[in-house]
Amino acid sequence: MRLDKFLSEMGIGTRSEVKKLLKSQKVTVNGETITKPETKIDTDKDIVCYNNKQLVYEKYEYYMFHKPAGCVSATEDNIHKTVMDYITDTVHDDLFPVGRLDIDTEGLLLITNDGALAHNLLSPAKHVAKTYYAKIDGMVTDEDVNLFKKGVDIGEEKPTKPAELTILKSKPISEIELTITEGKFHQVKRMFEAVGKRVTYLKRISMGPLVLPDDLKTGEYRKLTTEEINLLINN
């Protein structure tokens, strides 16, 4: 990779800004000061330093974000705040949310620039499990549990795939957890509407092997651990 491209991808500056930095002799490769932007480097072997600080190249970035209500799962929007408005101090500028949560839905959202991983996680053929916690206006019953397990008619050509519904509290306002393996538009809300009930609060608490930690508050994000990344890739 060209040195100027490497420095730019590491967030040091634009290509033109990087060229000026190189002239100022603040960049070294394997201890040698380099001023030529076209210098080729091996990102796996060469040690590149800027202002005496080593720059470790990461082709992909992975973040777990606790999405708050009121923002949209997009990279840009002319009306609403986006989830990307919360993600700062990243190396790359091509990150995006994997899938989407409704504007009023909270919870786990993966932010990355790994397109291949995103495709695998969202592919219907992969059946990646997603678990939601929800409050329901209406008393959820064992009959609903059995119906969700068989599949629910939400007005499409085929009913939903079998889903695991767990009742946490069955009252006029019920609390449940629901695991689905699809990502149809407003799916959770539509499933409960199909049995005459209404979702009043919805939060995604897991996606595949990723589980939203209790100490990650709404609006906060953190890098995935190496273990979490490997679990996602090998899931």
- Tens of pLDDT along the chain (235 residues) come to 999 989 988 878 888 899 888 999 999 999 999 999 999 999 889 999 999 999 988 889 999 999 999 999 999 999 999 999 999 888 888 999 999 999 999 999 999 999 999 999 999 889 999 999 999 999 999 999 999 999 999 999 999 999 999 999 998 999 999 999 998 999 999 999 999 999 999 999 999 999 999 999 999 999 999 999 999 998 7
Integer Rg of the chain from CA = 23
For tokens 């990243």, name the residue.
90
Task: For residue 117, report the phi and psi dihedrals to the nearest 5 degrees.
Answer: -65, -45
- Distance CA(145)–CA(125), nearest Å, equals 24
SS3 176: strand
Q: In the chain, where does DSSP find H-type helix?
A: 3-9, 15-23, 115-122, 142-150, 187-193, 226-234
User: In DSSP terms, which residues pair with 204 in a beta bridge?
Assistant: 107, 132
Domain boundaries, the chain: 3-54, 62-124+210-234, 129-207
What pairing do the DSSP bridges indicate for beta strands 62-67 and 106-112?
A: antiparallel
CATH 3.10.290.10, domain 3-54, yes or no? yes
CATH topology of domain 62-124+210-234: Alpha-Beta Plaits (3.30.70)
102 tagged catalytic: yes
Q: Matching CATH topology for 62-124+210-234 and 129-207? A: yes
129-207 has which CATH code?
A: 3.30.70.1560
Spot the catalytic one: 89, 102, 142, 215: 102
